[in-house]
Amino acid sequence: MDRGFVLKDYGSIKLYEIPSFNKTGLVRHGFTTRIGGVGAKPYDTLNLAFHVGDNPETVTANREKVCRLFGTRLEAVVSAQQVHGVNVAVVDDRHAGCGAFSEETAIPDTDGIVTARPGLLLATFYADCVPIFILDPLNKVIGSVHAGWKGTAARVGARAIEIMEDTFNSDPGRCLVGIGPSIGPCCYEVDEQVIGAFRSEFDWWQEILWPVTSEKSRLDLWKANLKILLEAGIDPDNVELAHMCSCCNQNLFFSYRGSRGNTGRMGAIIMLAP
Ligand SMILES: [Zn+2]
């Protein structure tokens, strides 16, 4: 049985996909790597984000390439100005094209996007932060959530599930979830500010933080997000974890930590099949 995420090769572009999502036949989805684009260092090569200083024409060319792979056009993209917050937007056809051609037109102040509209290509962007894919196969609803340490501490994944319940009557126990490639506990050393935020927010903070010095600990954002999603009612049998560290695998992934902030972004892409 295929578990976790699998790397699929589409010629130049490669995608990490979740077999359980594919099995439903309801979605096209994937997490891009840094491979297969046209960008130059330090954005080599498939940077999909406008806000990181890359040439906008290069970003647009990369995005068009990904859209073609998904059988759609840039006009179908919906993206957000991610701020490490807890806001989740429910989007429909009126949002088509938001953030597709520039950062300015992306949905402001938003780290999660949910829709029940087929054909909208939800796109969120990453270099170490945790991408969470959500699919309610019964009501045909999808969600995409960007969770760095701040969003994780604020339970942004649970917020998206809650919004799907309230808006579309989704049953968390029947939703499928994928926690994608992102910085792992192997590489994510954090300081007192971050440690304090998790210690005050979660009874189980000792399960996700390991002291390395008197001031620093390693943080497991994968397990933290998993636990938050299970507390929100997700069935552990319906969760897939990539267990791929973006910082350990910089041949495949952009890593904010690994590049000291000067790098591109991968995309978590999901669309209900039109
Ligand atoms: Zn690592």
Q: 115: which strand partners?
A: 91, 142
pLDDT at res. 3: 72
pLDDT at res. 215: 96
- Residue 184 CA to ligand 1 center (angstroms) comes to 5
- Residue 67 CA to ligand 1 center (angstroms) comes to 30
Q: Is the pLDDT of residue 2 over 70?
A: no
Give the tokens for residue 103: 């950062």
The pTM (predicted TM-score) of the whole model is 0.98
pLDDT tens track for 200-253: 999 999 999 999 999 999 999 999 999 999 999 999 999 999 999 999 999 999
pLDDT at res. 131: 98
Radius of gyration of the chain (CA): 17
- Residue 185 CA to ligand 1 center (angstroms) comes to 7
Q: Which domains does the chain have, with CATH numbers?
A: 6-272 (3.60.140.10)
Query: How many CB atoms lie under 10 A from the CB of residue 42?
Result: 16
Percent of the chain with pLDDT strictly greater than 90: 99
pLDDT tens track for 25-84: 999 999 999 999 999 999 999 999 999 999 999 999 999 999 999 999 999 999 999 999
- Residue 187 CA to ligand 1 center (angstroms) comes to 4
- Residue 261 CA to ligand 1 center (angstroms) comes to 16
Inter-CA distances, 232 with 131, 151, 161, Å: 17, 15, 7
pLDDT tens track for 84-121: 999 999 999 999 999 999 999 999 999 999 999 999 99
pLDDT at res. 1: 44
Average pLDDT of the residues in 158-179: 98
Inter-CA distances, 32 with 10, 172, 192, 224, Å: 11, 26, 32, 23
- Residue 142 CA to ligand 1 center (angstroms) comes to 29
State the chain's mean pLDDT as an integer. 97
